[in-house]
Structure 1
Amino acid sequence: MQENAAITSSELGTLWLMYQEKTMTLRILEYFIEKADDKKAKNIMTSLYGEIDNYVGIITEILQNEGAVIPVGFTAQDVNKEVPKLYDNGFDIMFVRLLNEISMGLHSLNITMTYREDIVLILKELTAVTQKYYNICTQYLLEKGLLVKSPHVSMPKSVEFVKDNNYLGGLNINPFSEKRTLNTVEVAQIHHSIESNIFGLQMITGFAQCANEEEVKNYFNDGAELAKSIVKELSETLLHDGIQSPQTSGGNATRSKIAPFSDKLMMYCTSLFCSFSLGSGSLGTAFSLRNDLPAKMTIFMKDIFEYAHKGAKIMIKNGWMEEPPQMEERDQLLN
């Protein structure tokens, strides 16, 4: 059997990131499986747990074989399965769906920085796993009436080409002119952003209720206000064109103030979602041709980045931010 080449720096970084994200996901699933009232939801999460746990074991084995220290990640100390339910009405599957959405993006990006065939295979298999469970969660939420589809539109009957710069509209052409109606690509990006921020608002509201540290509680409250402002601004953009903003009655936080997760885990989860929002915002900016939309998205991304940076400082202050493997300090070695 051909011996595997030593892993590269990018592969080590990829494995480290996967370990952090997957161990966090396992702890979240442990709590939601324990508290699940719906049998189908519990089966979905239990099946996903088994698949992810298997890959955490594979990643651990690769790191051990390379002589690398195993990261701390998230352990049994970061979850308390015995506390009351913090969320209700389908929130568990909403959470799992978004975690799989984030994982799909991470695996696709990480595979472009990987060379060793066994690690490429892991990422390909994990991509398939996350796609599978993302779809299962989507269909579950649709069946339960907990997920709102993007709006329908009349089908185009002819091909059209942009005839002049007025199509770009908005700020750079004439800020006082009437902006054209949104196109379907732009509606897709806005709808997705509203959906993600509504979920983020529900998640972080629960986190704020139960956080142990006052500084962390205040940080989550600030995040809730940020999510509200983004949802409000984008909803108004849709309503201007007579398009209904997505709303759901599911995923509500309960009255519980007892934390199922450590402040460390909740802060890391929020940081992960901020990174996801920045990536999604960049994509939305790139594919929006109406000039006012990238301007809005850029302001949102600035606010999200500053919020994430504030969170990083809190994590460092409390000793919750695990440091990724470092490159060699050549200057120090030479001196």
Structure 2
Amino acid sequence: MNQAGRKLWKKLPAAALASVFALGAGAASLPFAPSASAEEYAAVSAPNVSDPAKMELIYLVTASMDSQNRFAQTSDHMEYWALQAAQNQALAVVANPAPSSAQLFSARQQMEKAWGDYAYRYVHDKKDVSRIMGRDGSAIYSKYPSSDPSYLTPYEKGVIDMIDKTYDLMDTMGDSNGEAAQAYQYYELETSKLSHLVTPDFDRYRSSLAYSQEKAAESMVVLEQLGIDAKERVDDFNRSVAFLQALLSNGPYERAVYSAALNDVENDRYAIQSSAKLAQEIVRIQKLADTSPRGIRSGEYPASAFGTLNRAINEAKHVLETADSAEEMNYQYQFVLERAEYYFKKSVKP
């Protein structure tokens, strides 16, 4: 969900902080109390996800999640951040009981573009697609004493059939980067639509939900202590929690529905945790800048070093306010601030 313009770094009055940080009893030891909007949504008897346009968004989200799992070498790049933002936006539209056709169309366009850019980064030719499908096929058949198709579950048979269909599709295509990425996306998307053949693991979704509630609450303690206004991110988390709770209470739905909803909860929880980590790093580096001696004598730091460090601090504050994904914030403190601190300390006069 677009975080642009959020004012996370401003100080809040104690009363306002108390209203943001409202805790109550529940499954987790430190669960969030739902926001008013989340409570309103939770009152809906059964989430409406049967609309074909909503289901297409859900399949796009789950297929892109599978891509992230396949290509998890790094998340410190714009394509990953844009994909996370598109997933969040798509799930916000899915959770809306009555989204407009314009909202559905816009969310789908954003998902298709972000996922297309992400796939293009990692899938370069048909050989890459063949390797991916080969690993999937081998993983399926390795569980059985022979490659006899009669051993396969309906879902596994569906995956094997989709591998064959993707090879047929690639026979009609060229071998450019773009065409290979399209073939890969076809395979991933069509495979995600087989989720109705798999029974959802409700215990896993419930335990993961409780874990996310607990960890998000712990990070909110840190944000409260630092005086950070994270209300909008908390509201996003509460809405995603309420949506998954409503799905678990009114199901069963397809596995893809639960997987996408849990992904939304985890993305929102991770954003709160990353906000707390980045805020702590900003405070720590700011203290370094404020307490280090300035000058040209031994043990002192030149004025230029303070300018560079303060620019990194200000950049981190801006990212804390505006980042669309947790990964973007993580990159900021794991690379930008750490690098700025490293070069600042190296600049000390011997």
TM-score, normalisation: structure 2: 0.26
Give the alignment's TM-score, normalised by structure 1.
0.27
User: Structure with the greater relative contact order (CA < 8 A, sep ≥ 6): 1 or 2?
Assistant: 2
